Amino acid sequence: MTLEEGTRAPDFTLKDQDGKDVSLDQLVGSKELILYFYPKDETPGCTAEACTFRDHWEDLAGIGASVVGVSSDSPESHRNFIAHRKLQFPLLSDPDRKVRRLYDCDGLLIPKRVTYIIDKSGVIRNVFNSQINARGHVENAIEFIKKFRESSP
């Protein structure tokens, strides 16, 4: 199943870096959600992507967006990655790749790098899929949310 703009984001519950359950319902409602799927903690592209979100934190706060990353790494790996890279946002663990498959991000050889912008009502408004342009996920998210806010009543 391919998720497209205008479709409801599938619900899920995953463990965060502290082992606490986090569901999509908890993440949407008050702000747009940037939900990004990435292959693996501490790899070059994934580190660049996470650190670009970190480095643009003020821009993201300024547009009122929240950020959550998802990979198959363990909560402990996520906790270490967050501490090492000084990330300000949660990372969710999807060890059996159920949510990754639900969001069509599994990939053939390596997991896909896909970012979804989900509005306050839980509808997918933008999908950015690029394995190579890790930093582009952040730029696209900021630009899209700014335009979305301008066009929304």
Low pLDDT (below 50) residues in the chain: none
Entry pTM: 0.95
146 phi/psi in degrees, rounded to 5: -60, -50
CB contact set of 119 (below 8 Å; sequence gap of 6+):
28, 32, 125, 148
Relative to beta strand 91-93, strand 65-71 is parallel
Ordered by start, the domain boundaries in the chain are 13-151
Q: Which listed residue (33, 34, 46, 92) is catalytic? A: 46
What is d(CA 131, CA 134) in angstroms, rounded to the nearest whole number?
Answer: 7
Helix segments in the chain, DSSP class H: 24-27, 44-55, 57-62, 75-85, 98-102, 136-151
Is-contact 14 94, C-beta < 8 A? yes
- Sign of the alpha-carbon torsion through 102, 53, 123, 31: positive
CATH topology of domain 13-151: Glutaredoxin (3.40.30)
Phi, psi of 4 (to 5 degrees): -125, 165
17-31 residue pLDDT tens:
999 999 999 999 889
Give the pLDDT of residue 1.
Answer: 53
Catalytic status, residue 105: no
